[in-house]
Amino acid sequence: MRTLADLEQVMAEPSAELIAFMQELDGDIMLLGVGGKMGPSLAKLAMNAISAAGVKKTVYGVSRFSEAGLKDELQSYGIQTIACDLLNDQALQELPDVKNVIYMAGTKFGTTGKEHFTWIMNAYLPGRVAEKFRDSRIVVFSTGNIYPFTPVSYGGAHEAIAPAPIGEYGQSCLGRERVFEHYSQKNGTPVLVYRLNYAIDLRYGVLLEIAKSIKEGRAIDLSMGHFNCIWQGDANEIAIRSLLATQSPANFLNVTGPETVSVKYAAQQLGQRLGIEPQFVGQESETALLSNAAKSMKLFGYPRISLLQMFDWVAEWLQHGGSMINKPTHFQEREGKF
Contact present, 42 and 261 (Cβ < 8 Å): no
Rounded distance, CA 320 to CA 299, Å? 37
The answer to whether residue 142 is domain-embedded is yes
Coil, strand or helix: which one is 237?
Answer: helix
The answer to whether residue 271 is domain-embedded is no
Q: Counting beta carbons within 10 angstroms of the beta carbon of residue 320, is it exposed (0 to 12), middle (13 to 18) or buried (19 or more)?
A: exposed
Coil, strand or helix: which one is 177?
Answer: helix
Coil, strand or helix: which one is 289?
Answer: coil
The answer to whether residue 28 is domain-embedded is yes
pLDDT value of residue 325: 86
State how many domains the chain has. Answer: 1
Domain range for 239 = 4-201+229-257+290-303
Rounded distance, CA 190 to CA 213, Å? 43
pLDDT value of residue 109: 65
The answer to whether residue 213 is domain-embedded is no
pLDDT digits (tens, 9 = 90+) for 227-264: 999 999 999 999 999 999 999 999 999 999 999 999 99
At residue 324, φ and ψ (nearest 5 deg) are -135, 155
E-only strand ranges, the chain: 29-32, 59-63, 80-83, 100-103, 137-143, 150-151, 191-196, 199-200, 220-221, 226-227, 230-231, 251-255, 261-262, 280-281, 287-288
Question: Which residue ranges in the chain fall short of pLDDT 70?
Answer: 109-111, 338
The answer to whether residue 282 is domain-embedded is no
pLDDT digits (tens, 9 = 90+) for 34-48: 999 999 999 999 999
Average pLDDT across the chain, whole number: 95
Contact present, 60 and 29 (Cβ < 8 Å): yes
Q: For the domain that residue 123 is a member of, what is the CATH number?
A: 3.40.50.720
- First-to-final CA distance of the chain: 31
The answer to whether residue 206 is domain-embedded is no
Q: Report which of 288, 227, 283, 234 is spatially closest to residue 260, judged by C-alpha positions.
A: 227
Q: How far is CA 10 from the centre of its chain?
A: 17
The answer to whether residue 103 is domain-embedded is yes
pLDDT value of residue 338: 66
The answer to whether residue 186 is domain-embedded is yes
